Amino acid sequence: MASDSTTLRASLEHHNETFESLLKLIPAKYYLVQELTDEQIASKFQKHSKNKKASKQAIKEASKKARREKLDPSNAKSVLDIQQEGLRAGRKRKAQADSDDEDDIDLEMDIDEVMTQQSDESESEPVPMPVNSGAAELRQKLHARMAAFRNGRNEGGDKDELLEERRKQRAAMRERRRKETRERIQKENESKSKKGNKTTRDERDKGKQTQTQLLVPDAHQSKTHLPSDLTTVSFSSSGNSSTKRKVNDLKVSQNPTQALEQLANRKEKLAAMPEEKRKAIEEKDKWSKAEARVEGVKIKDDEGRLKKAAKRKEKEKFKSKQAWDERKERLTNDMAAKQKKRTDNIATRNERKNDKRKGKSRPGFEGKSLAGGGGKKRMAGGSKR
């Protein structure tokens, strides 16, 4: 088995050397695709550019220099040499890109930790705090290091890979922002529901106290009375049915004119309500719209855009009506022209039939009518004789 593998390896190496020797005989310009420079592309496609043309002397010198470099034996590289250089450059770029990615990941982890700490502090303390100078410094350092990495990175890398990497980073950033928005809205809803439950509970306790303030409280009842915190149940997050109902309440008609009428009716209803109730409803609608937008539902409540859409639709209707009127007029004219042509053809056909019935007349004799038609009668009498 060892001898067979050795023989196979030797034969493969021999074949490889043979193919490499054959490749060396082929010029590189016929085997490899040459990448055009910016100047060559401009000279090929931008033939009518307004750039100043180089002088004839400079063109001659450049052509001589290119001819010398072409005939220089030290510059003559085979296909294998060029392929090996490209392989080494690709490995070098890959190693550098891997190191840059690791550095970027470390920086992103540091920034995420700082941002999470800041978000925890802001959630724990509702009072607005001054901007932390440490976060600003870290952000500046991050931008400086990223700029240094961009400048130091090899510009000859694969553009498709760079674009794909940036696209993935943008998608991850968008997903993270959406997640943070959902969490923030959920926490705000929970805090609002807790506050609402607390206020209702306080009002209920106050009402009970006002009703029984003249009576002596029972000791047994006071001992056996459970705390309200243990008996109340708060539903912080609404289900899918409530969310769908809110979205359906906020939706308007697809017709811009009808949508404007619906918005105007809603405004009139809100204006007729008391101020406190109106503010509560407006606040509730605002949060419902935010939740719907997070879920991906489009809320068409912008009056300016709806007015523009209605105006655009009216213009389209006017253009359609104008085109339809032109079509009707064109059809009427075509029908009239066809009818006139048909009438003319019928008249021409009748004239031809009448001409055939009369027969061919002799010039000078039968073409003219005599006075009273006596000539014809005489001719007829003469013929009888």
- From 102, 108, 100, 107, select the one nearest 173 (Cα to Cα): 108
Q: Is the dihedral of CA 364, 366, 367, 370 positive or negative?
A: positive
Residue with tokens 């539902």: 297
Q: Which residues contact 86 (CB under 8 A, 6 or more apart)?
A: none
- Tell the burial category of 93 from Cβ atoms under 10 Å away from its Cβ (0-12, 13-18, 19+): middle
pTM: 0.25
Question: Helices 79-124 and 159-211: crossing angle, nearest 10°?
Answer: 10
Q: Is the dihedral of CA 307, 308, 309, 312 positive or negative?
A: positive
Q: Which residues contact 243 (CB under 8 A, 6 or more apart)?
A: 291, 292, 295
pLDDT in tens, the chain (385 residues): 567 888 998 899 989 889 888 877 887 777 777 666 666 666 666 655 554 555 778 888 888 888 777 777 666 677 777 778 888 888 888 887 777 666 666 555 655 555 555 555 444 445 455 445 567 788 888 888 888 777 665 554 567 788 888 889 999 999 999 999 999 999 998 888 887 776 766 666 655 554 444 444 444 444 444 444 444 444 444 445 555 666 566 666 777 788 788 878 888 887 888 888 878 877 877 787 777 777 777 777 777 788 888 888 888 989 999 999 999 999 999 999 999 999 999 999 999 988 887 766 666 655 555 544 444 444 544 444 4
